[in-house]
Amino acid sequence: MNTMLNNESEETSQIIQELKSLKTQNDQLSRAGFDLISEQTKLHSLLHNASDGIISFEPDGTVNTFNLAAQQIFGYSEGEIVKRKIPDLIPCPDWVEDNVGAYIKYFISSRASEEIPLLGKHRMGFDILLHISTGQASEEETILFDNTDEIDPFAEDIEEDNIVKEEIENEVIVCFFRDITLDKKLEKELEDHKLALDSSASIIMRDKDFRVIEVNDKFCQLLGRNRNAFLGQSDIHTKFSAPPNNELQLKQRREFLAQGIPWIGETSFLNIQNETVWFSENTTPFLDEDKVPYQYLSILFDITDRKNFEVQLQQNQNNLQELVDEQTSDIKYAKEMAEQANNSKSEFLANMSHELRTPMHGIISFTSLCLKQFKGSSLDEKKTVKLQKFLTNIETSSQRLLSLLNDLLDLSKLEAGKEDFNYEENDLTLLAQQIHNECSASIKEKGIDFIVNQPIDPVFIVCDKNKILQVLSNLITNAIKFSIQNKIIEIKIEKTSIILGKRSSDTKKTQGALVSISDQGLGIPSNELSTIFDKFIQSSKTKNGSGGTGLGLSICQEIVSAHGGKIWAEHNPEGGALFKLFLPSSEEKTY
């Protein structure tokens, strides 16, 4: 009996001991469960208030959870979106059907970069650019007490594939979203600004040791050099620069920048053609946490045109007084020329009055005498001779008057550009000989030795034959008229080239024929060589009555100018005058 009681007592103690142990385990499990619930609550609160949008949904796209950040991104409240399909938030292709999870996984795995955004749709209808990543959450519940029978791991009727398949189908997809619409917009604006800056400004990026680590296309284009010519160089201001970028200035600039202070100024480089290209340069140091420069950004704008203008302006300012003096001199000269022209015109009119009156008086006087002879007795031989003399004088005066009028008409037509020219090829030597033959009587009368130096080869020139004959006739008759008895007149014809331009900077030579006519007559004063061809002007040595009206040489100059040539006068070294006539060859003519 006692043994029985002892056994029962031991069993009771053992049961009590096991119950205490169970109670301890239960308390521990309860505390663990409460801790787990607390942690789950904290985790849920953390996820719900996370900065990234977090959405969990079934594989078919049905939304389970929708945190605050997601609500801000998409514009829906949690109550409005839970149990709705996620394609309302993320438009999916038609082939997706109910497998939204597969589409999101496909997008993430197939994108070339994590920077590529997924397109979302805001509640208001506008597009959102989203950065997306995924996770998976199991549908399994936390089990504190498992009352189910233990599964025999060696049981033959367990289908492993079905279990795995069921687990996959029950996977809850968790997506983490971040709205990068503003970031992408800012990136686009930054890229646009960079492109705009690249198109308008040159950019040089240097490291802390002033070695070039990048230059843009604009800088390379302006200098006509390849980018590789600059990369890695620490002395491009010396290697590719024009003065005044000397070593001392560059050293001072680098010391200035090394202190973290931006530098603004002007600099210059030599392009591939060795021409100076000027820039305004703004260099900004990039500072690290210790305020020490680790990179330098230089932005340069082309100011070459402005610098060239400034140089020109400075030159003009330096030469301003010279320009004023020159203009004053030009005005004074123009005034003197105007006064001289006015005086010449007055002299011409006085001379013309005399020239016109003289033949007219002769015509009137001799005509009156002729009439008296006819009114008297019949003409005898003596009166006939006298009458013939009168008529001869009338003819001479009429011819002189006609010549004067012809000169006036010729000059007026040439000045008005209404004279017709008939250009054809002519041998200048033959033209000169023709005038020589016409003037042979005058030449013989004065005993003049007339020499025509004929070139070995004929000198042909395209010209108006009659007009050039008129010029040669005027020059040769003047030479005969003003020559002294038994002197020499020489004509020389040659092919040559001269500078036709009137400016000192003109250097181009023109091919053509040069006719030189020299005499040993009265000559021309040095101060009249440049004005002898002006209208109404006569040499002071011919105003004693031996000269003409002052129109002959003016007519010559107009004819020669119409041929694109040049005529001028010089002193004959052997005494007298030397006239030169240059006519350009046909391929050189500019008329």
CATH number of the domain enclosing 93:
3.30.450.20
- pLDDT at position 489 is 93
Would you place residue 491 in the very low, low, confident or very high pLDDT band (cuts 50, 70, 90)?
Answer: very high
Higher-confidence residue of 458 and 160: namely 458
Do 554 and 438 fall within a single domain? yes
Question: Between residues 188 and 220, which one has the greater pLDDT?
Answer: 220
pLDDT at residue number 137? 52
- Return the pLDDT at 155: 42
Q: Which residues contact 582 (CB under 8 A, 6 or more apart)?
A: 496, 498, 500, 512, 513, 514, 515, 560, 565, 566, 567
Better-scored residue on pLDDT, 50 or 294 = 294
On the question of pLDDT at 316 being above 70, the answer is yes
544 and 439 co-located in one domain? yes
pLDDT in the model for residue 530: 80
Q: Is residue 146 part of a domain?
A: no
**What was the pLDDT predicted at 143?**
40
Residue 28: the pLDDT is 74
Would you give the DSSP letter of residue 147?
-
Predicted confidence at residue 375, as pLDDT, reads 59
128 and 264 share one domain: no
How many other CB atoms are there within 10 angstroms of residue 387's CB atom? Answer: 16
Residues 81 and 106 in one domain: yes
Residue 453 shares a structural domain with residue 574: yes
Between 43-57, 152-166, 235-249, 512-526, the lowest mean confidence (pLDDT) is in 152-166
The yes-or-no verdict on residue 198 having pLDDT over 60 is yes
pLDDT band at 196 (very low <50, low <70, confident <90, very high): low
**pLDDT at residue 568, as a whole number:** 92
Percentage of residues in the chain having pLDDT higher than 90: 13
How much is the pTM?
0.39
- Given pLDDT bands bounded at 50, 70 and 90, which one contains residue 541? low
**Same domain membership, residue 470 and residue 401:** no
Task: Identify the residue with better confidence: 39 or 473.
Answer: 473
pLDDT of residue 515 exceeding 90, the answer is: yes
Helix/strand/coil for 164 = helix
482 and 399 in a common domain: no
Say if residue 96's pLDDT is above 50.
yes
Residues 410 and 425 both lie in one domain: no
Instruction: Please report, for residues 95, 96, 121, 125, 166, the alpha-carbon distance to residue 110 in angstroms, rounded to integers and kept in the order given.
Output: 16, 15, 21, 27, 26
Tell me, yes or no, whether 548 lies in a domain.
yes
Q: Please indicate, yes or no, whether residues 306 and 328 belong to a single structural domain of this protein.
A: no
Nearest to 87 by CA among 98, 76, 77: 98
Question: Does residue 527 carry a pLDDT above 50?
Answer: yes
**185 occurs within a structural domain:** no
User: Are 276 and 359 in a shared domain?
Assistant: no
Assigned token pair, 265: 């100024």
Contacts of residue 245, Cβ cutoff 8 Å, sequence gap at least 6: 237, 238, 267, 268
pLDDT at 151: 43
Residues 534 and 446 in one domain: yes
**Mean pLDDT of the 393-409 span:** 68
> Which pLDDT does position 583 carry in this prediction?
93
75 in any annotated domain: yes
Q: How many domains are there within the chain?
A: 5
CA distance 522 to 543: 12
Question: Cα separation of 512 and 583, whole Å?
Answer: 6
Closest CA to 349 of 540, 514, 550: 550
Structural domain contains residue 582: yes
Higher pLDDT, 591 or 487: 487
pLDDT at 168: 44
- What average pLDDT does this structure show over 8-31? 75
Q: What is the reported pLDDT for 589?
A: 58
The pLDDT assigned to 492 comes to 94
Question: Residue 80: helix, strand or coil by DSSP?
Answer: helix
258 phi and psi angles, rounded to 5 deg: -60, -20
Strand extents, DSSP E, 271-357:
276-287, 293-302
Domain ranges, residue 16: 1-47
Residue 141 has pLDDT above 60, yes or no: no
Residue 9: pLDDT band (50, 70, 90) is confident
Q: CA 588 → CA 461, 513, 532, 591, distances in Å?
A: 11, 11, 27, 9
186 belongs to a structural domain: no
- CATH number of the domain that residue 482 is part of: 3.30.565.10
Q: At what angle do helices 381-416 and 320-375 cross, to 10 degrees?
A: 150
Comparing 227 with 536, which gets the higher pLDDT?
Answer: 227
Q: From the CA atom positions of the chain, what is the Rg in Å? A: 58
Confidence band for 514, pLDDT divided at 50, 70 and 90: very high
Say if 99 falls within a structural domain.
yes
Q: Measure the CA–CA gap between 84 and 121, rounded to whole angstroms.
A: 14
| Predicted pLDDT of residue 186 | 80
Confidence bin at 591 (pLDDT 50/70/90): very low
pLDDT greater at residue 501 or residue 271: 271
Q: Please indicate, yes or no, whether residues 473 and 583 belong to a single structural domain of this protein.
A: yes
Angle of CA points 519, 525, 526, to nearest 5°: 105
Residue 153: inside a domain:
no
Q: Please say whether the beta carbons of 559 and 470 come within 8 A.
A: yes
Q: Residue 229 has what pLDDT?
A: 87
- Averaged pLDDT score across all residues of the chain: 78
What's the pLDDT at 149? 45
Query: What does the pLDDT look like over 261-300, one tens digit per residue?
Result: 898 888 888 888 888 889 888 999 999 888 899 999 998 9
Q: b/e for 289-301, b at 16 or more Cβ within 10 A?
A: eeeebeebebbbe
Out of 72-81, 101-110, 528-537, the most confident range is 72-81
pLDDT band at 407 (very low <50, low <70, confident <90, very high): low
- pLDDT at residue 167, as a whole number: 45
